[in-house]
Amino acid sequence: MDRRRQLVIAAAVALVGAAAYYYWDTQAPSAPAPEQAAASAAARIQHPLAPVNGAPLPPLAESDAALGAALAALVRSATLPELFYPDRLARRWVATIDNLPREQVAVEVRALRAPGGPLATRGEDEALAIAADNSLRYARYLTLLAAIDPGEAAALYRRFYPLLQEAYEGLGYPGQYFNDRVVAVIDHLLATPDVAEPIRLVHPSVMYRFAEPKLESLSAGQKALLRIGRENAAAVKTKLRALRAEISSPP
């Protein structure tokens, strides 16, 4: 779509929005009472989590120490592994999860550090593809993943959920339920296609791209699952299915 057409569409949307606002401001009944709005929001929740009784949680801005210790215990480590960014933990995890179905995950909100070294490739030109040993770059991540018990992960998630919900609303989603977003993101990642390897690439600039347009159009999270290799992706999906079962309501 050319820029001129985009501007025309944007102007049309703005005009329709202004007209709708004028109509409802003059014709519609008054807004529902706060308790009615709260009940309506609760009715839209698809995967409610039962509240957890326990020690009071720290304020969101002061939660890094408690959440970091809990994450370290989850991955069977005495301290938070260096793969994790140690600051703004709740906000980073919430923003990363929310970004995974999008085109990219902003660097400043990522919860985990990127693997070291460049993408491993093989061949040139039409034969350029992801190398089989590229999956080794993610070995440390898969080791952490293997150590996680889905039931324990879900328990930790429920315990700190109020902070995650607060962080989610702070991203610009007031009144929306974070756990519903988590389940939707898990489903999105589970829908990542299983692609035969090697996966062909093109190198038009500094960054590699998937040669197949359908693969290049996938989200940041789905592309990541393709880059880590089929076996690693299968292990990630297995954990995601188990976690989803722990935090989602039955159909």
The per-residue pLDDT for 116 is 83
Residue 85 has pLDDT above 70, yes or no: yes
The per-residue pLDDT for 249 is 79
Domain residue limits at 168:
56-247
Residue with tokens 């309501």: 249
More confident residue, 161 or 15: 161
Q: What percent of the chain is helix, strand and coil (3-state, nearest 5)?
A: 60, 5, 35
Burial-class residue 200 by CB neighbours within 10 Å (0-12, 13-18, 19+): middle
| pLDDT band with cut points at 50, 70 and 90 for residue 3 | very low
Across 165-235, where does the E strand assignment appear? 201-202, 209-210
What dihedral do alpha carbons 26, 173, 187, 100 form, nearest 10°?
A: 130
For the chain, percent of residues with pLDDT exceeding 90: 73
Whole-prediction pTM value? 0.80
DSSP 174: T
Tell me what the mean pLDDT of segment 60-73 comes to.
97
The per-residue pLDDT for 250 is 73
Residue 26 located in a structural domain: no
What dihedral do alpha carbons 10, 108, 216, 214 form, nearest 10°?
A: -60
Q: Judge whether 147 and 76 are in contact, CB under 8 Å.
A: yes
Tell me what the mean pLDDT of segment 202-208 comes to.
87
Lowest mean pLDDT among 8-12, 83-87, 138-142, 150-154: 8-12
Instruction: Give the count of domains, the chain.
Output: 1
Length of the chain: 251
Residue pLDDT, tens place only, 110-130? 999 998 888 999 999 889 999
Q: Is 107 helix (H, G, I), strand (E, B) or coil?
A: helix
The per-residue pLDDT for 251 is 57
DSSP 58: P
Residue 166 located in a structural domain: yes
Residue 51 located in a structural domain: no
Residue 17 located in a structural domain: no
Residue pLDDT, tens place only, 229-243? 999 999 999 999 999
Residue 37 located in a structural domain: no
More confident residue, 207 or 160: 160
Q: Which long-range contacts (CB under 8 A, 24 or more apart) does 43-49 make?
A: 44/177, 45/177, 45/179, 45/180, 46/177, 46/180, 46/183, 46/249, 47/177, 47/179, 47/180, 47/183, 47/247, 47/248, 47/249, 48/177, 48/179, 48/249, 49/158, 49/161, 49/179, 49/247
| pLDDT band with cut points at 50, 70 and 90 for residue 195 | very high
| pLDDT band with cut points at 50, 70 and 90 for residue 43 | low
Residue 143 located in a structural domain: yes
Residue 88 located in a structural domain: yes
The per-residue pLDDT for 55 is 86
Residue 101 has pLDDT above 70, yes or no: yes
Tell me what the mean pLDDT of segment 189-207 comes to.
92
Q: Is 112 helix (H, G, I), strand (E, B) or coil?
A: strand
Q: Is 130 helix (H, G, I), strand (E, B) or coil?
A: strand
Comparing CA positions, the residue from 58, 83, 29 lying closest to residue 163 is: 58
Residue 164 has pLDDT above 50, yes or no: yes
Residue 238 located in a structural domain: yes
Tell me what the mean pLDDT of segment 139-168 comes to.
96
The per-residue pLDDT for 205 is 82
Residue 206 has pLDDT above 50, yes or no: yes
Tell me what the mean pLDDT of segment 15-39 comes to.
36
Tell me what the mean pLDDT of segment 142-162 comes to.
95
The per-residue pLDDT for 44 is 86
Between the CA of residue 122 and those of 127, 166, 197, 210, 229, what are the distances in Å? 8, 45, 12, 14, 14
Tell me what the mean pLDDT of segment 208-221 comes to.
95
